[in-house]
A and B are shown apart, each in its own frame.
Chain A
Amino acid sequence: MIPANFTYHKATSLKDAIALSQTLGEDAKYMSGGHSLLPMMKLRFATPEHIIDISKIKGLSYIKEEGDLLKIGSLTTQTEMEHSLLIQKGYPIFSDAVKLTADPSVRNVGTIGGNIAHGDAANDQPSLMLAMRATIIAEGANGKKSIPIDDFFHGFYMTALEPSDVLVEIQIPKHKKGSGGAYHKVERKVGDYATAGVAVHVELDAGGVCRQIGIGLTNLSSVPLRLSRAEDLLKGKKITEDLIVQAGTIASEDCEPTSDLRGSEAYKRSITKTLTERMLRSALKRATS
């Protein structure tokens, strides 16, 4: 439970962090809250030679609406997300998820950017990002870039971020009338990673027709999974109970779970169906209230 030797570097600014990363090369790893990285290091599953601590960089912790977008600074902690009135009022899907993520002491330190940049399909935020069709803003040696969420997750712990890239901001379409989202996961006990988790975000037009929909799955594949076939089914239609059940069936077919201590593949497919149906109903309710 003691990490292998590493050198700790504290970045004072974004520029400083990127410069350090360039100097130290591929053996360096950024750390914000550290609550995903440090346990892996303690078990010696990860043995980076250098840790660049970006947690004290100023100006990367904010939640604000600007133009058509909700912008969240990457160093915003889960606790700050939990207590933000803007989030609670306009984006309750985040409140759903944050309350189910780890425990309060972890949320006090764990950041939303870290939760996404870690590239772990078991983390909760990636499926929300898929559902809300987020854009990830990163800054690195080659300047600033904007990555659509569908291009972000590449594989098991792998993302579109280059070694020197710092995830700096998350952009999400601003809440508008007729939009709403919901997230839930089945967990074995409080603070556990999801046995299965489903995030749904819908946008309805004035007539109640689904204009846009995103469904993201947590821990049901080696990467955060978008449920495209179910989205295609529902988009452009009035979402009826019958369609919800059909979408649930698609979810159970298209998720890619494996049997493990959390349950069998069949169990996970079944609860994914149930969760998808329930989250569709919750999201619709929020969109229409």
Chain B
Amino acid sequence: MFKCKTSAAVGGMGHSVKRKEDARFLHGKGNYVDDVKLPGMLTMVMVRSPYAYAKIKSINKEKALAIPGVLAVITGYDLAQYNLHWMPTLLSDTQMVLPTDTIMHQSQEVCAVIATDRYIAVDGAEAVEVDYEPMQAIVDPFKALDKDAPLLRPDKKGQKDNHIYHWEQGDRAKTDEVISKADVVVKERVYLPRIHVASIETCGCVASYDKDTHKMLIYMTSQAPHAIRTILALVAGHVGLSEEKIRIISPDIGGGFGGKVPVYPGYVVAIAASFLIGKPVKWIEDRSENLVNGFARDYHMDCELAATKEGKIQAFKVKTLADHGYTDSSANPSKYPTGMFSICTGSYDYAHAFAELDAVYTNKAPGGVAYRCSFRVTEAVHAIERMVDKLAAEIGKDPAQLRLENFIKKDQFPYASPLGWHYDSGDYEATLHKAMKMIGYADYNKEQAEKRKQGKLMGIGICTFTEVVGAGPSKDFDILGIAMFDSAEIRVHPTGKVLARFGTKSQGQGHETTYAQIVAEELGIPYDQVQVEEGDTDTAPYGLGTYGSRSTPTGAAAAAMAARKIRDKGKKIAAYLLEVSEEDIEWEVGKYFVKGAPEKSKTIQDVAFAAYTNFPLGMEPGFEATYYYDPPNMTFPNGAYICVVEVEKETGQIDVKRFVAIDDCGNIINPMIVEGQVHGGLTQGIAPAMYEGIEYDDEGNVLNGTFMDYLVPTAVESPHWETGHTITPSPHHPLGAKGVAESPTVGAPPAIANAIIDALSPLGIKHLDIPITPAKVWEAIQAHSK
């Protein structure tokens, strides 16, 4: 286990210090975008389409403009005058800001109403008269590829059908050959439906343009404020928004989970409106707007897993159809249109794999937004973990044993996966053994055998996942060409206190605490004397933001490296103060001392003061450092999750009796915060496994557009999470850390699905797609009872 180097008072790595940010959150003093109120501020509300696919015949603003307090109704035609009615997405597609003629998904923005307050703006939006000519929407992505399917994006030059792109990785021929000769091949179509991130805070912004200084100040719910600033400068440079004049402040954020990475049309319209009107304009989504307009997942994966009859895995092949809605709004690194999906070969040692994917347009909201799933890792892990369980069932081998026999062994790291990743470290066997011991795996096997004799449905499900996070090394990872490094700037004040600023942006992860702990670890300055700031593009160093579990792999590494630069400078100052040569100075937490004479020492605080008051001649004064960290590799957190369920035959109700999660996220900065991340992530894992999924009818209407029907699980639905850790430090990360936030969201759904399907297996049920609801279970039982 990790041994703390610092005292509890210093609070470096490994200490469960309380979160510094919580006092203001718990006291209701958080400052979210909707808390921002500026003098003369106006409110913007969107008129949204009731249809999924329609021509706009006319928009009549008159009745809305007649309402006292309604100042403007902005349409796509108004924006077209400035060429702002379309915007690029991060992956070279285009998205309407506001439409001029065609509606492409239900709830799409039709026009924007600006009024003196929100109540009036909502009444104004009700009063706008839009004449639509509805058309037959394409909802099924498979039908979108039919020869006679209408072309959804005639606006795109050269677009002849609804196919967006093809992607593939691996050796198709060799994989096919191995599969064709294998003893056993299991196949399944695995579908991960669209789900919604359900952050407590919806998206929004306040844009405030000053016509005299030409400064555009934007408060925005953004996980990546610096990247957004650059994008705005690139897309709105032609109307005079220059990057040095744009200041984005991401204040406190009430949950992001990937949903606050993209640029939404509302941001652009609010910014344009403020630019034109010269007054602050606030736009905040309401709950249903947030729920219906941004999605993750929607992958239909045809999987094949080949093995020997003894169960040695030989090859994996997956062909995916990705439903991107009407535009590809994936927020992925540019060279990775399918994110990190190629992690789909999993935690197992075999040589051959092939993955391909075709993305298509449908009449749904822009797809591809992440959901705490680090770029399609959730989809990838679900595919391989379902297939491994299916293989176990097929050959009649215990699924834990099958995994143990196929794992990449501890001494095989760094491990080159068949689809091109270099797994950094792990001890998969130890992790699974720990989970099996904690849950009492053997006893449950016996109990299950007993229960099955009594006709009861009990299931045990395992998931042993490998994550890939921390995007990423600049040679492969960029967004619009900007390399995916991240940054830290540390200033030690003369009295030895610290201001540290980062290019990342916490949305609840606890950066104000964990980054302070890293500075404490490296400099020995108590964590509570380290002030952490993020999110203001005018003050924070440039960085790509927080998503894909990247802050610890990149930002935390930058913090350590910047602190080490300061420590190195301090060594020179300490040598000067102690009148010895630099080589004679040694460091222990918080203190420089003379080799062999530890009583001759200077504290970091002494040295900090000297850096401003009494430094060697010729030395640059001050005690600050900035570091832009370009990671050499991704990090590969992993884990073993085991779940026990009981299913009631009559009603299909599922009772999750136990859930054990053992995570290996390398060295841990704050165990309490990791515990919280894991609990939240596991709950966000049970959500898509058993409750959540956006439902559409044949016309493209969203059927569950409120929290009354979009079922976000609560504490009541959550089982008692039992957690634990193995620790295999990342060999290339300065702190040996890996990132953890998304592991539980990735690992929980297949564990739960595998358990439920295992419970139902005596009836002959071999697969169910998530969410596995009681109604779905009941229907499956009926279908297999006849």
Contact = CB atoms under 8 A, between A and B. Distances in A.
Contacts of A44: 126
Interface stretch (A77-85, A142-150, A184-192, A212-220): A184-192
B650 A270 contact: yes
A188 B778 contact: no
Interface string B683-710: 0000000010001000000011010110
B714 A189 contact: yes
A189 B119 contact: no
B711 A189 contact: yes
Interface in A1-54: 1-2, 4-5, 39, 43-44
B650 A267 contact: no
A40 B304 CA distance: 48
B778 A267 contact: yes
A59 interface: no
Contacts of A255: none
Interface string B286-326: 11100000000000000000000000000000000000000
Contacts of B713: 189
B695 A2 contact: no
Interface in A247-265: 261-264
B616 interface: no
Nearest to B119: A2
A271 interface: yes
B717 A190 contact: yes
Contacts of B708: 39, 192-193
Given A189-B717, A190-B714, A267 B123 contact: no
Interface in A54-73: none
A186 B774 CA distance: 10
**Most chain A C-beta atoms within 10 Å of own C-beta, residue among B704, B775, B778:** B775
A189 to B, nearest CB: 5
A189 B691 CA distance: 8
B651 A186 contact: yes
A274 interface: yes
Contacts of A261: 695, 703-704, 709
Chain A residues touching B, range:
20 to 34
B714 to A, nearest CB: 6
B694 to A, nearest CB: 11
A158 B755 CA distance: 45
A86 interface: no
B127 to A, nearest CB: 11
A266 interface: yes
A188 B711 CA distance: 8
A192 B714 CA distance: 12
B778 A263 contact: yes
Interface residues of B, number: 30
A39 B711 CA distance: 17
Contacts of B651: 186, 270-271, 274
Given A186-B774, A267-B775, A270-B778, A5 B653 contact: no
Nearest to B706: A43
B122 interface: yes
Contacts of B650: 270-271, 274
A196 to B, nearest CB: 9
Contacts of B691: 188-189
A248 to B, nearest CB: 10
Interface in B692-740: 695, 703-704, 706, 708-709, 711, 713-714, 716-717
B711 A192 contact: yes
B287 A1 contact: yes
B782 A266 contact: yes
A264 B691 CA distance: 16
Interface string A162-203: 000000000000000000000000101111110100000000
Contacts of B773: 188, 263
B776 to A, nearest CB: 9
B96 to A, nearest CB: 24
Nearest to B653: A186
Nearest to B777: A267
Given A186-B774, A261-B695, A267 B716 contact: no
Contacts of A193: 708
Contacts of B703: 261
A190 B778 contact: no
Nearest to A262: B775
B93 interface: no
Nearest to B717: A189
Contacts of A43: 706
Given A190-B716, A264-B779, A1 B288 contact: yes
B314 to A, nearest CB: 41
Contacts of B706: 43
A183 to B, nearest CB: 16
Nearest to A266: B782
Given A189-B711, A189-B713, A261-B709, A5 B123 contact: yes
B703 to A, nearest CB: 6
Nearest to B704: A261
B118 interface: yes
A185 B110 CA distance: 41
B775 A263 contact: yes
A99 to B, nearest CB: 11
A280 to B, nearest CB: 15
A262 B695 CA distance: 12
A33 to B, nearest CB: 17
A261 B692 CA distance: 12
Nearest to B652: A267
A28 to B, nearest CB: 21
B169 to A, nearest CB: 37
A1 B122 CA distance: 9
Contacts of B122: 2
Nearest to A274: B650
A100 B466 CA distance: 40
A266 B650 CA distance: 12
A176 B716 CA distance: 35
Given A2-B122, A5-B123, A267-B775, 19 more contacts: A1-B286, A2-B119, A186-B651, A188-B711, A188-B773, A188-B774, A189-B711, A189-B713, A189-B714, A189-B717, A190-B716, A261-B704, A262-B775, A266-B779, A267-B778, A267-B779, A270-B650, A270-B778, A271-B651
11 contacts: A1-B288, A2-B118, A186-B774, A188-B711, A189-B711, A263-B774, A263-B775, A266-B782, A267-B652, A271-B651, A271-B778
Q: What 3 A-B pairs are tightest by C-beta distance, nearest first?
A: A263-B775, A190-B716, A274-B650
